Amino acid sequence: MAHPVQLGLQDATSPIMEELIAFHDHTFMIVSLISFLVLYVLSSVLTTKLISTNITDAQEMETIWTILPAIILVLIALPSLRILYLTDEINNPSFTIKSIGHQWYWTYEYTDYGGLIFNSYMLPSLFLNPGDLRLLEVDNRVVLPIEAPVRMMITSQDVLHSWTIPTLGLKTDAIPGRLNQTTFTAMRPGVYYGQCSEICGANHSFMPIVAELIPLKIFEMGPVFTL
């Protein structure tokens, strides 16, 4: 869960999110070095008297500033493509859960547990308990196991939505008439929050996502049926 004045990303709860954070740091370091270099060159140009004519025709310098950007782009593109393929990889999921977006709530269907179906609405401020998060709490949380690959089947019944939980590294569009899927493996138990990340109408800001991650042994005992 993000906190006020937080500058970095949320702590990772899945291997994919750990890869995304590492790629973010990798790219940020490259961008920072480029920015400092450009700033140094600009300050040098502004504070130095350019009286030398030896730099008017510098083939070596032109070669360097042509090849160096290409190398930098390769250093950014290769890990980016690797993570892109990792996010699309489906590895024999142990559980399948279907999420359907509506204006403006979510419906969850546990296809492996007798077709259990329930809706998840945002809790109004009058029904919040002390410590609950305004605009983020729901009446029915989606309960998921940790240390087991879970496949989310995501679609929509009306307009475009987006099922997003940042700490899990998940963001999948819910499109009417199309069934998208994504997989993840959570590593830590806890309660994690997300929101619809696609503008879907007047109450777009009021359809949060709350995932409660519990150990696999407890999940298999059936607490998921207690709503």
CA distance 127 to 72: 52
Cβ contacts of 54-58, under 8 Å, gap ≥ 24: none
CB 95 within 8 A of CB 111: no
pTM above 0.85, yes or no: no
Query: Tell me, what's the pLDDT at 225?
Result: 47
From-to residues of CATH 1.10.287.90 in the chain = 15-88
Q: State both tokens at 42.
A: 């600009």
**Ramachandran category for residue 177: left, alpha or beta (phi over 0 → left; psi -120 to 50 → alpha):** left
Intervals of CATH 2.60.40.420 along the chain: 95-221
pLDDT at 50: 65
Residue tagged 């503008």 (tokens): 199
Ranges of beta strands (E only) in the chain are 95-102, 105-110, 116-120, 142-145, 150-156, 161-165, 170-174, 180-184, 190-195, 208-214
- Judge contact between 108 and 97, C-beta under 8 A: yes
Q: Which CATH class is domain 15-88?
A: mainly alpha
φ/ψ of residue 163, rounded to 5: -85, 110
C-alpha to C-alpha distance for 76 and 23, rounded to whole angstroms: 8
CB 125 within 8 A of CB 134: yes
Side chain identity, residue 88? D
Would you say 21 and 9 are in contact if contact means Cβ atoms under 8 Å apart? yes
Other CB atoms within 10 Å distance of the CB of residue 30 = 13
| Model pLDDT, residue 52 | 61
- The pLDDT profile of the chain, 227 residues, written as one tens digit per residue, is 777 888 888 888 998 999 999 999 999 999 999 999 999 988 887 887 766 656 566 678 788 888 999 999 999 999 999 998 888 877 788 888 999 999 989 999 988 877 789 999 999 988 888 888 889 999 999 999 998 899 999 999 989 999 999 999 899 999 999 999 999 999 999 999 999 998 988 888 899 999 999 998 888 776 454 44
Residue 142 to residue 192: CA distance in whole angstroms:
10
CATH 3.30.450.40 fits 95-221, yes or no: no
